[in-house]
Amino acid sequence: MHALIAGSLRENPGRFLLAIAAIALGVALGVAVHLINSSALNEFELAARHLAGEADLVVRGPRAGFDEALYPRLARLPQVEAANPAVELEVPLAGRQDSLRIIGFDPLRAAQVQPSLLPERAGIVLDLFDADAILLSPAAAEWLHLKAGDPLAVQVGTRKVPLKVAGLLPRGAYRQRVGVMDVATAQWRLERLGRLNRIDLRLKPGTDVAAFRRELQAMLPAGVHAVAPDTEGERAAILTRAYRLNLDMLALVALFTGAFLVFSAQVLAALRRRAQLALLRALGVTRGALAVGLVAEGAAIGAIGSLFGVVLGYAVARYALSVVGADLGAGYFRGIAASLNAEPQALARFFTLGVLFAVLGAAAPAWQAARRPPARALRAGDEEEGLRKVHTLWWGVALLVSGMLLAAAPAMNGLPIAGYIAIGLILLGAVLVMPQLTGACLARLPSPAHAAAGIAIAQLKATPRQVALSVAAIVISFSLMVSMLIMVGSFRGSLETWLERMLPADLYLRAARFGETAFFTPAEQARIAATPGVGRVEFVRAQTLLLAPERPPLTLLAGPVDAGDPGSVLPLTAPARTTRPEEPPPVWVSEVAADFYGFRTGDRVQLPIGDAPRLYTIAGVWRDYARQNGAIAINRGTYVKVTGDTLVNDAAVWLAPGASVTHVQRGLRERLPDAARLEIATTREMRDLSLGAFDRTFAITYALEIAAILIGLFGVSVSFSAQALARRREFGVLRHLGMTRRGIGTLLGCEGTLVAALGTAFGLAAGCGVGLILIHVVNRQSFHWSMELHVSWLPIAGLAALIVAAAAVTAVWSGRAAMGDDVVRAVHEDW
């Protein structure tokens, strides 16, 4: 029996190779995505842990920080053994479109709190007291191609602040890019005098950290939170949970497709070998042993594929981490340099998963084959008989219905689990209803007089269940493609609409694209407004608010939003609510903020804007695709009144009638200091920048789509090859009857086209359903932003045509073996 299986492997290596490749692809995808993400997360946690050193708690404030007077108060608490005050900011690098994280702390206090973070070289602390000095982590030094003694310029306001690299942190102490400064230097050079935004606390031995944290929280100003360093590290995990699950699901989908391929390969193999298998049964092999043997065959495919997949995934992850970086374009791990962190358990898990899926794929056909009475199977024309038993319609319908119902379920634990299950059920259901649906459709086809077409249609009509296998392969891959196209297309379409709303002006000035220390002073604002050709200017101040310790800060946008007509500036999701004069001042929250913090229009909430928290009215919810941690918009007049902060980050410029863009751009550059570093972009440039970033983010999705196409075509090719081989004699007869090779090609092409047409039609339907779930359930629950349905039919139609054409070609190609001379001789064989 093993010889028989091995023989079958030898006989049809291509089919098995394809199944192996599909499993390998799924496993590789899973392994790569998992490794990249876990490495990035690990690095993220490590970074948070290393930066906190021996600290038991990290007190954090928003970007604007808190009054430095908090530091002595905390340092004097009896439970506190040592406190290290810090200013921690992303600082734009002058002359480089990027930013560097700089932490300015007290190196003397670091001796007690973060001892490993400073070099052992005697005198380095003294060097750090120099108000130009910065220490770089080895990763930062490497990235910037700098060594001790080199100058490094950063941007603060619109100015260039020259610094000097005083030395490097010990290798291994901190693996990410970071610059370390003295807290006094940071306060002064980064224009944060009197402010801190981080204090690391080391507690006396025996202090109950959790209890002390609660006690401490009561004395911290609003918007300032004490968190354990582990929580800090885990924040990245929480933040990226949905994103990672998304990628994991894509990998699972690939595996699922692989399993389906194993299934279809095994079904056809079982059919082809039905006589051999029946012979085995007749010779006394038990039903169970036969099934076990066939499942073992699937397991072998799974094991080989998984092994390749693990190796491939590992290689891809390694390559991606070293070349592309850990970010994968999604922005969560920007600037994180991760080294591959491959836990053997995770690799083993994916290997097992691959084998499991293959076994699952092999189980049903094995069971079917083993169940078949040997006498019947020995008779000719049994292929379809074997499948006729499979009554899947009601199961399929049940799965489809429950999938649709499940799609309405809310997020579980912040994750769209139900949505994913719904997608799985719908895909599985679609596969299960395929035999009946395919049969019904084929039955309605006319019988044309043309010999090749007539035979093709008759063949399909007579074998609806076998056809259904091929159709299902296409349905699966095409529906995935369609759903992704719909999702990405809707997202992109919504983003474009949104950008149009968010970018109403002619020109945009940004003090810097990256980092937190660039701004325009009131004098510069006045100069911008007075530039010839400038009709109107609106300024925006971006700050952060820390509303919950376990979440990253959300963005506070103080801009031209007006209580009277907020909809003119913000893309509100519902009509605005007008606040009455006696109510607290209005703020408008993004969908993400609304979801994270439970804000509802009309709520009154205390927000730590400025040093004293006040009540504000939630006056509306708006759509924001730019800030994944949430955003709150406030009128800048209100903001300035509350905070006294008159700096701004961005300016939107409307040209005066008749003014030219280039003219005004030049004028602005002339009037602003070091304007070379400023970003003065037209609306179109801003738009293109955002869309470019979007496309990069979804690059991985496109890669997956290509994988889906390949898997789908694999499936088609596998089933056609198998069928073509099974029908060798039939083709031989046709050749005897005077059908040309071309005629047989046409016949196969017709069949391929029909199968693909059915597959793409049903795939389109299933894909639309899955796409809607992706848009309204998975996406909404994962990333908390809504979007409108934008279906670009042209690419979908193009893709469908491509698949049909590819399927026709594949069918003809896989039938070429059946057009050779041996088919002629096959006719005269006795059997």
Partner 1 sequence: MLALLAGALCAPKATAQITSHESRVTPFAPVVPGYRMRFPDDEGSHPDFRIEWWYITGWLEDAGKPLGFQITFFRARPELKHDNPSAFAPRQILIAHAALSDPAHGRLIHAQRAARAGFGLAGADEGRTRVTIDDWRLQQADTSYRAQIGTRDFSLDLAFEATQPPMKQGRDGFSRKGPAPESASYYYSLPHLLVSGSVEREGKTLRVSGSAWLDHEWSSQYLEKDATGWDWIGINLDGGAALMAFRMRDRQGGHYWAGGALRDPNGRLRIFSPDEVRFFPRREWKSARTGTSYPVSFLVRAGDREFAIEPLFDDQEHDTRASTGTIYWEGAVRALRDGKPVGLGYLELTGYWRRLSL
Partner 2 sequence: MLRIDNLGKSYGGARSREVLRDISFEIRRGEYIAIVGESGVGKSTLLNLVAGLEVPDRGGISLDGVELTALDDTARTLLRRSRIGFVFQAFHLLPHLTVAQNVALPLSLNGIDPAQAAARVASMLDAIGLTAASNVYPRELSGGESQRVAIARALAHRPLLLLADEPTGNLDPATASQVLALLRDQVKRESGAGILVTHSAVAAATTDRVLVLTAEGLRPAASA
Q: Is residue 323 a contact residue for partner 2 (CB under 8 A)?
A: no
Q: Is residue 218 a contact residue for partner 1 (CB under 8 A)?
A: no
CA distance 315 to 596: 37
The one among 10, 413, 582, 831 contacting partner 2 by CB under 8 A: 831
The one among 30, 85, 223, 313 contacting partner 1 by CB under 8 A: 85
Instruction: Report in angstroms how near the CB of residue 827 gets to partner 2 at its nearest.
Output: 6
Q: Which does 380 bind (CB under 5 to 8 A by kind): partner 1, partner 2, none?
A: partner 2
Stretch that binds partner 2, among 1-9, 306-314, 447-455, 649-657 (CB under 8 A): 447-455
Q: Which does 735 bind (CB under 5 to 8 A by kind): partner 1, partner 2, none?
A: partner 2
Q: Is 48 exposed, middle or buried (0-12, 13-18, 19+ CB in 10 A)?
A: buried
Stretch that binds partner 2, among 135-143, 438-446, 636-644, 741-749 (CB under 8 A): 741-749
Q: Is residue 151 a contact residue for partner 1 (CB under 8 A)?
A: no
Q: Is residue 88 a contact residue for partner 1 (CB under 8 A)?
A: no
CA distance 700 to 180: 35
Instruction: Report in angstroms how near the CB of residue 129 gets to partner 1 at its nearest.
Output: 5
Instruction: Report in angstroms how near the CB of residue 726 gets to partner 2 at its nearest.
Output: 11
Site map 807..826 versus partner 2, x via CB under 8 A: --------------x--xx-
CA distance 794 to 429: 27
Q: Which does 132 bind (CB under 5 to 8 A by kind): partner 1, partner 2, none?
A: partner 1
8 A C-beta contact, residue 499 and residue 687: yes
The one among 153, 184, 404, 725 contacting partner 1 by CB under 8 A: 184
Query: What is the footprint of partner 2 within residues 453-482 (CB under 8 A)?
Result: 454-455, 458-459, 461-463
CA distance 808 to 810: 5
CA distance 22 to 254: 8
Instruction: Report in angstroms how near the CB of residue 442 gets to partner 2 at its nearest.
Output: 11
Amino acid at 577: R
For 301, the enclosing helix (H) or strand (E) is helix 287-319
57-60 vs 198-203, strand pairing mode: antiparallel
Instruction: Report in angstroms how near the CB of residue 297 gets to partner 2 at its nearest.
Output: 28
Amino acid at 88: E
The one among 16, 44, 66, 71 contacting partner 1 by CB under 8 A: 71
Q: Which does 449 bind (CB under 5 to 8 A by kind): partner 1, partner 2, none?
A: partner 2
| CA nearest neighbour of 627 among 394, 785, 468 | 785
Query: What is the footprint of partner 2 within residues 251-270 (CB under 8 A)?
Result: none
Lookup: tokens for 203: 């507690």
CA distance 75 to 766: 62
CA distance 84 to 69: 13
CA distance 545 to 609: 7
Q: Which does 828 bind (CB under 5 to 8 A by kind): partner 1, partner 2, none?
A: partner 2
| Nearest CB to partner 2, comparing residues 791 and 824 | 824
| CA nearest neighbour of 52 among 82, 91, 90, 10 | 82
Instruction: Count the site residues for partner 1 by CB under 8 A.
Output: 36
Instruction: Report in angstroms how near the CB of residue 817 gets to partner 2 at its nearest.
Output: 17
Instruction: Report in angstroms how near the CB of residue 336 gets to partner 1 at its nearest.
Output: 27
Q: Which does 582 bind (CB under 5 to 8 A by kind): partner 2, partner 1, none?
A: none
Instruction: List C-alpha distances in Å: 316 to 184, 331, 335, 560.
Output: 44, 20, 19, 47
The one among 12, 137, 155, 185 contacting partner 1 by CB under 8 A: 185
Amino acid at 472: A
Lookup: tokens for 299: 């397991």
| Nearest CB to partner 1, comparing residues 219 and 548 | 219
Q: Is 59 exposed, middle or buried (0-12, 13-18, 19+ CB in 10 A)?
A: buried
Q: Which does 526 bind (CB under 5 to 8 A by kind): partner 1, partner 2, none?
A: none
8 A C-beta contact, residue 467 and residue 440: no
Q: Which does 120 bind (CB under 5 to 8 A by kind): partner 1, partner 2, none?
A: partner 1
Q: Is residue 8 a contact residue for partner 2 (CB under 8 A)?
A: no
The beta strand positions in 216-351, using DSSP E, are 225-227
Residue 80's CB is within 10 A of a number of other CB atoms, namely 20
Q: Which does 410 bind (CB under 5 to 8 A by kind): partner 2, partner 1, none?
A: none
- DSSP code for 584: P
> For every residue of 602-626, which 3-state class applies, written as one string?
CCEEEECCCCCCEEEEEEEEECCCC
Instruction: Report in angstroms how near the CB of residue 813 gets to partner 2 at its nearest.
Output: 20
The beta strand positions in 513-641, using DSSP E, are 534-545, 554-559, 586-590, 604-607, 614-622, 631-635
Angle between helices 229-272 and 417-443 in degrees, nearest 10: 20
Q: Is residue 193 a contact residue for partner 2 (CB under 8 A)?
A: no
Q: Which residues of 478-506 are buried (b: 16+ CB within 10 A; e: fewer)?
A: bbbbbbbbbbbbbbbbbbeebbebbbebb
Instruction: Report in angstroms how near the CB of residue 439 gets to partner 2 at its nearest.
Output: 13
Site map 110..139 versus partner 1, x via CB under 8 A: xxx--x--x-xxxxxxx--xxxx-------
The one among 187, 257, 483, 628 contacting partner 1 by CB under 8 A: 187
Amino acid at 221: P
Q: Is residue 149 a contact residue for partner 1 (CB under 8 A)?
A: no
Instruction: Report in angstroms how near the CB of residue 644 gets to partner 1 at its nearest.
Output: 19
Q: Is residue 386 a contact residue for partner 1 (CB under 8 A)?
A: no
| Nearest CB to partner 1, comparing residues 47 and 110 | 110
User: Nearest-5° angle of CA 455, CA 456, CA 460?
Assistant: 115
Q: Is residue 450 a contact residue for partner 2 (CB under 8 A)?
A: yes
| Chain contacts with partner 1 (rule: CB under 8 A) | 68, 71-72, 75-76, 82, 85, 106-112, 115, 118, 120-126, 129-132, 182-185, 187-188, 193-194, 205
Q: Which residues bind partner 2 (CB under 8 A)?
A: 380-381, 447, 449-451, 454-455, 458-459, 461-463, 729-730, 732-743, 821, 824-825, 827-828, 830-831
